[in-house]
């Protein structure tokens, strides 16, 4: 529900973890071929201002796709510290990897890489958080280096703000910032960020190169946690 348009929300350029809220939420993931599945997501501000971000998706009881990331924010810049991805869904490759980030060095034994890069490299959940922070800071167009969970490699994604759009959910309508993300040899991702819900990504969809679409949408009102 739209209590006020997003452009009236006060914006602080230098955002820290204290400027964000912890939350737990459930989403509906819709696969173009296999139907709908429940996804649980947690975003927790730790006492030391580090951030724990995670999701769990279970297509079936015996299968699990999950990611757990440790993140930080300094002056509007997100850093990935550690991420761990598990995916035992048939056909997933890699099915498990862990990545460590330290200064300009990104390493992973499972992915067999050791990358020295002056530009920061983010894991998937880190890139989601950087996009939220940039939306809050009114940064409209930018590029990020991101570790792709599907391929396990580093891709450069270009993000572009497309304007605003009303997103209908089962628990109300929200005015959202609409952002596209594109990368070479990859499908386009469209994100919808709600300023009213602490700049959460409440809806997204991936346009696959084959033409099919997978989507994710917030199922219920998120549970914001006390600090």
Residue 22: inside a domain: no
Residue 35: inside a domain: no
Residue 184: inside a domain: yes
Contact 129, 146 (CB under 8 A): no
Contact 65, 96 (CB under 8 A): no
DSSP collapsed to 3 states, 148-171 = CCCCCCEEEEEEEEEEEEEEEECC
The token duo for 109 is 């034994």
Q: Could you read off the pLDDT of 69-103 as tens digits, one per residue?
A: 999 999 899 999 999 999 988 777 888 999 999 98
Q: Could you read off the pLDDT of 175-206 as tens digits, one per residue?
A: 999 999 999 878 899 999 999 999 999 999 99
Give me the pLDDT at residue 47, please: 86
Residue 21: inside a domain: no
Where in the sequence is the domain holding 190, given as residue range(s)?
40-225
Residue 185: inside a domain: yes
Mean pLDDT of 36-55: 94
**Mean of the per-residue pLDDT values of the chain:** 89
Contact 204, 215 (CB under 8 A): yes
Residue 50: inside a domain: yes
14: pLDDT strictly greater than 80: no
How many domains would you assign to the chain? Answer: 1
Residue 16: inside a domain: no
Confidence of residue 18 (pLDDT cuts 50, 70, 90): low
Q: Which of 11-15, 71-75, 115-119 has the lowest mean pLDDT?
A: 11-15
Residue 138: inside a domain: yes
Instruction: Indicate left, alpha or beta for 198 from its phi (over 0: left) and psi (-120 to 50: alpha).
Output: left
């Amino acid at each position: 529900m739209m209590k006020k348009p997003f452009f009236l929300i006060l914006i602080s350029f230098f955002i820290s973890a204290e400027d964000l809220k912890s939350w737990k939420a459930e989403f509906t993931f819709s696969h173009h071929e296999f139907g709908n599945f429940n996804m649980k997501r947690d975003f927790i501000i730790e006492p030391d201002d580090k951030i724990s971000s995670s999701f769990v998706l279970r297509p079936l009881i015996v299968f699990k796709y999950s990611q757990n990331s440790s993140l930080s924010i300094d002056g509007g810049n997100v850093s990935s510290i550690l991420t761990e991805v598990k995916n035992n869904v048939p056909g997933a490759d890699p099915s498990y990897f862990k990545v460590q980030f330290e200064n300009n060095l990104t390493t992973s034994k499972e992915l067999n890489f050791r990358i020295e890069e002056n530009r920061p490299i983010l894991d998937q959940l880190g890139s989601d958080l950087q996009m939220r922070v940039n939306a809050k800071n009114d940064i409209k167009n930018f590029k990020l280096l991101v570790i792709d969970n599907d391929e396990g490699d580093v891709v450069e994604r270009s993000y572009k703000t497309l304007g605003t759009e009303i997103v209908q959910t089962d628990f109300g309508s929200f005015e959202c910032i609409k952002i596209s993300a594109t990368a070479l040899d990859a499908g386009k991702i469209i994100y919808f960020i709600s300023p009213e819900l602490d700049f959460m990504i409440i809806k997204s969809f991936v346009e696959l190169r084959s033409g099919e679409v997978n989507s994710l949408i917030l199922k219920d009102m998120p549970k914001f946690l006390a600090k």
